[in-house]
Structure 1
């Protein structure tokens, strides 16, 4: 081949690249259902600035432990390496003494001094965005701290409901008007109180460019307020996300709040079932699928629900496993495998990646330890990379193909992509035989976690898993003898020999 021919051949890939439409090179906005959220309790995560350690006592579970915004900035790469795309922070607003958790707010438009400054918050958001990560801030609209100055301000006499506890938890008026755990309950129907909360919500968006709010105690605030709140904040930033906390196990009740404009809710019904199913082996995974079917029936978009194993209000998953004399790491791998492959937005509470133990509040809020074995967080990173690569795991339909004992197999399909998720939640090796009609004929399942491979044989797929393990399969064409590749390999030396022979003959005739 002439030099000119070789040049033209090399030019082809460049021409093809630049022939792509400009839109293909543009970065698309990531849909919220594709997010993976890491949930941080600011005070208990990482101390990055000791200058703000006022009255810090790490031995007192109800005192400040020194975690701050600078500490989160310093660990952004740690969080990103596990595959997380968003970080949810507990409230950073100024709190009354002892409010290490952030929920005893004294000023809705100031950063708590223990956590740093407004500039620290701006820097956190900026550096997270540089890493293509989003920041979700916890927002409290229901109450203030116990000793808030407004309680003694005559100009704000109508900002609170009458001081009375919630006496009937099944009565909506009681839920919205009573003082939750004695915290002064704001009356969102009061025009000035209402406007203040809307202004505070706008302040953090405009000042720091955050990407979403996690809304605390949603069911204790009237739906009418949330409707206005949702319209207000979403007018300030495109694709702004609202994740609501409605602590209730009835999906019909939770779904009613979806009509207010809140995008998503933490899925407490699934949380309860996951704790029961995965904290010990030999439990059927079927109840988890039942939750999905109910979610599918009641929610407009069940794919946006926030799914989780533990949080700052509940006993940690590790404690549940220990109480049942199980190895937490093994049990967490099983639970996380489901969390990352089932519909919903995975939310992982800080410390879960090291199997952190913890009982009731505040024991479930221990200081993070970064000097531990990294096997589990590497497993989380692998799950995240698989979830990120295959759209069927974030937007595909969800179908149970097999459920016997502790073994279950699910199928997710989207965009001509099919994924098979197999979980053996039993204490012995299990086998699931699936007819090719429910998957595909003459194909192969390629394992992505354990590098397993299952080819269709005699009209069936035989999936075998060791005890307490999971596998995520991608449906592919069967691998076999690649005759085209072999032909090329054979043809190259033949053509080269022919070229040498022809060249020699040409020289002999000269």
Structure 2
């Protein structure tokens, strides 16, 4: 009898332990899911954003190939991953080469090479099978979250590909010409086509289209736990649509919204946290090419300070998918000024961007409509991005979100060639000082004090009457 009692006690102990283990496991799973705090301005103040081109990121062009590298992005201070469109791409009118569409290519094997534009979407609620499965996508999002990063999707609201089911099921969703034919996007100023013949323009005057589009956007947040959107050509879609959907998304969970636009300014009042610093980027290109000066940069910063609200901010970049494929590589556009310009994008108010391949010194234009691959060998840029990312993460003087550190112009004896400004917040001070010209410059700057030159780690003492000599495109980041 004793033996039976002991056996029963042992059995009950094992069951209790198992139940306790299951409860703990359940709690652990919940805690793991909740380990990434909801996206917030506090996080975004010091964030770096990474634009992931899944097709070209690896030879495989798959979600899995990118997912395995996500932990490495922490080395660069990345907090937000922006996925270029990873939805199925329309075959009809698919862009091929030059002015040709895929219908103009007769050889079936040749046609297979043309993968089409990421922005000619045939289904908003599916993934491109070339990249993998929906389960692979979910694993990407989970891996990002496990590594403290948020995932936003590239959203193309302005148009669909010509294979989208709405073309036949809901033709009233689209813009039509006088003949009642669905059109590609038209330039409102000229009345002519933009040349985006592989997509069909959507008509946001139709309330039913708006409802359908909102449901598609809610799907990814509700069902796949993504953290927001980058809105392609956001200015081409009515601001009130973005305001409405942003409100609905935020009723589900906090999200981060990035507009590929810097106007109209009311985009940033209720709909988007951040916009593109397109004007600033083009000005940096011009300075690097000797077509503009440091003085013009100062004027630009004064202008945006008066035209944007205090809690608006912009994404700063030296490259992205558009610039790389169509305007040229960083070296093509910025030459020897490249490093100074990259450091500048990290020290300005706002959020710095890294585009796939940039971290590996990519010096080629990625093909847009066919398969290509980024380099994967670390050179000069990777350690530079590591160092700049660490500074962005740890120094409040570089906060760039809704509570950004102050930005103040600093006078120099050569305003045309020398760029100098101060960032400060909560007692932390940082100076960016650079020769924005291709020649050696001797100058004085209105700075007094002892500093650490961040990039080299050396001490540097400055006084207002001290003469400094900077080589072409030389820069310093000074911290207190």
| TM, length-normalised to structure 1 | 0.73
1:77 matches 2:79: no
Q: 1:119 Cα shift?
A: 1.6
Could you tell me which of 189, 192, 207 is aligned with 1:170?
A: 189
Are the counterparts in 1 of residues 359 and 381 from structure 2 also a CA contact under 8 Å? yes
Could you tell me which of 345, 366, 389 is aligned with 1:339?
A: 345
SS at structure 2 position matched to 1:454: strand
- Deviations, residues 354-406 of structure 1 (Å, cap 9, x unaligned): 33234596399841111x34221111111111121111112211122135343
CA distance in 1, matches of 2:349, 2:87: 33
Could you tell me which of 22, 30, 37 is aligned with 2:49?
A: 37
Q: Who is 1:296 aligned against?
A: 305
Q: Who is 1:310 aligned against?
A: 319
Structure with max Cα Rg: 1
Aligned runs of 1:69-148 on 2, under 5 Å? 69-97=63-91, 98-99=114-115, 101-148=117-164
CA distance in 2, matches of 1:186, 1:106: 13
Q: Who is 1:192 aligned against?
A: 208
CA distance in 2, matches of 1:70, 1:146: 29
Distance 1:323 1:332, change over 3 A: closer
Q: 1:202 Cα shift?
A: 0.9
SS at structure 2 position matched to 1:38: strand
Distance 1:77 1:124, change over 3 A: same
CA distance in 2, matches of 1:363, 1:340: 31
Q: Who is 1:434 aligned against?
A: 445
Q: Which stretches in structure 1 are left out of the alignment for 5+ residues?
A: 1-25, 48-65, 476-510
Are the counterparts in 2 of residues 275 and 320 from structure 1 also a CA contact under 8 Å? no
Q: Which stretches in structure 2 are left out of the alignment for 5+ residues?
A: 1-35, 92-113, 177-181
Are the counterparts in 2 of residues 312 and 364 from structure 1 also a CA contact under 8 Å? no
Are the counterparts in 2 of residues 445 and 454 from structure 1 also a CA contact under 8 Å? yes
Are the counterparts in 1 of residues 117 and 369 from structure 2 also a CA contact under 8 Å? no
Distance 1:182 1:117, change over 3 A: closer
Are the counterparts in 1 of residues 315 and 353 from structure 2 also a CA contact under 8 Å? yes
Q: 1:90 Cα shift?
A: 0.7
1:397 matches 2:406: yes
Distance 1:181 1:265, change over 3 A: farther
Are the counterparts in 2 of residues 318 and 357 from structure 1 also a CA contact under 8 Å? no
CA distance in 2, matches of 1:321, 1:151: 39
Are the counterparts in 2 of residues 314 and 360 from structure 1 also a CA contact under 8 Å? no
Could you tell me which of 407, 428, 435 is aligned with 1:424?
A: 435
CA distance in 2, matches of 1:185, 1:27: 38
CA distance in 1, matches of 2:327, 2:241: 38
Aligned runs of 1:77-476 on 2, under 5 Å? 77-97=71-91, 98-99=114-115, 101-153=117-169, 156-162=170-176, 163-164=182-183, 168-170=187-189, 180-181=196-197, 183-238=199-254, 240-246=255-261, 253-278=263-288, 280=289, 284-301=293-310, 304-315=313-324, 319=328, 328=335, 330-359=336-365, 362=368, 366-370=372-376, 372-394=377-399, 395-401=404-410, 402=412, 403-435=414-446, 439=447, 443-456=449-462, 460=465, 463-475=468-480
Residue range with higher mean Cα deviation, 360-369 or 225-234: 360-369
Count the aligned residue pairs: 410
| TM, length-normalised to structure 2 | 0.77
Q: 1:311 Cα shift?
A: 1.8
Q: 1:314 Cα shift?
A: 2.5
Bigger RCO (CA 8 Å, 6+ sep): 2
Q: Who is 2:8 aligned against?
A: none
Q: 1:454 Cα shift?
A: 2.6
